[in-house]
Structure 1
Amino acid sequence: MKRMHVDRARGLRRNMTDAEQLLWRHLRNRHLTGSKFRRQHEIDRYIVDFVCPEANLIVELDGGQHAEMMAVDADRTRRLESLDYRVLRFWNNDVLMNIEAVLEVILEAVARAAPHPSPLPRGERE
């Protein structure tokens, strides 16, 4: 079963949609806030489009077929949220037509999840 997921994830990485390719160009190599993103990554029984493990953030891109799958997507989101992930969903068209706005939302979500850059040592907290 695990091998099947690995093979499927590899196939998805090789055959990314135009929207996924565009977003990946902005997320890869720590381009956005220095945060590490992975693409087509397995979490639980799902393969998510993009994940930033350090921020517990998942970014999913939805094409037109997802309009008929809203209940399935909602169940998937609830399951991933139960694993302490925050899930952001964008329509492919939003990524293709307004990438800057999409990146801003992702940037804000990563910043909100990031720990303080210089936390106080133990015992010095208020």
Structure 2
Amino acid sequence: MPHNNHYNQNLKPFARSLRKESTEAEIRLWCEVLSKGKTGYTFLRQRPVGNYIADFLSKELRLIIEVDGYSHNFKTEEDIQRDKDIAELGFITLRFSVEEVMRDLANVERFIVDWIEDSQTQVILLPPSMGDFQVS
């Protein structure tokens, strides 16, 4: 695994400016859910990773959380490619709309916490053909 989780030093100034200009939804998600280890894990805001800047990134969980505003309604293909590129770097992306964060933060938080819990539980899935056999 590359050092420092694919941190892109060249994007640092832009990431810093994005932190200063965070949206209301990003600030709310940060303050009420993700800051100060409230989930049990450390998240970083506006973190350069590869050729992108993640809204929120947890190195430990290999998780990126994005808050998509109105402009993302027109960037579906770009977001799909971005998520694919980020997955190739070893990260999973969870996306929430501004409306979800602002109107239903409790469910956004519940989804994130459930995802974290599920990611920390090793689940072994048997192929369907093995699910019905009997041991004699």
* TM range, smaller chain: 0.7 to 0.9
Return the match for 1:31 from 38, 47, 51.
38
What is the distance in 1 between the residues matched to 2:117 and 2:60? 11
- The ranges of structure 1 where at least 4 consecutive aligned residues each deviate by more than 4 angstroms after the TM superposition are none
Matched, 1:108 2:96: no
| Alpha-carbon shift at residue 112 of structure 1 (Å) | 2.1
Matched, 1:8 2:10: no
SS at match of 1:59: strand
On the 8 A contact 1:59/1:87 being kept in 2, the answer is yes
SS at match of 2:54: strand
Return the match for 1:62 from 34, 57, 68.
68
| Alpha-carbon shift at residue 42 of structure 1 (Å) | 0.7
Corresponding position of 1:124: none
SS at match of 1:55: coil
| Alpha-carbon shift at residue 3 of structure 1 (Å) | 5.4
On the 8 A contact 1:30/1:37 being kept in 2, the answer is yes
What is the distance in 2 between the residues matched to 1:51 and 1:107? 15
On the 8 A contact 1:56/1:113 being kept in 2, the answer is no
AA partner of residue 87 (structure 2):
E
On the 8 A contact 1:58/1:87 being kept in 2, the answer is yes
AA partner of residue 86 (structure 2):
L
What's the C-alpha RMSD, in Å, of the aligned pairs? 1.4
- The structure with the largest alpha-carbon Rg is 2
On the 8 A contact 1:62/1:90 being kept in 2, the answer is yes
Give the number of equivalent residue pairs. 114
On the 8 A contact 2:9/2:48 being kept in 1, the answer is no
- Identity over aligned residues, as a percent? 30
Unaligned runs of at least 5 residues, structure 2: 1-7, 123-136
What is the distance in 2 between the residues matched to 1:105 and 1:31? 14
SS at match of 1:58: strand
SS at match of 1:35: coil
What is the distance in 2 between the residues matched to 1:91 and 1:57? 17
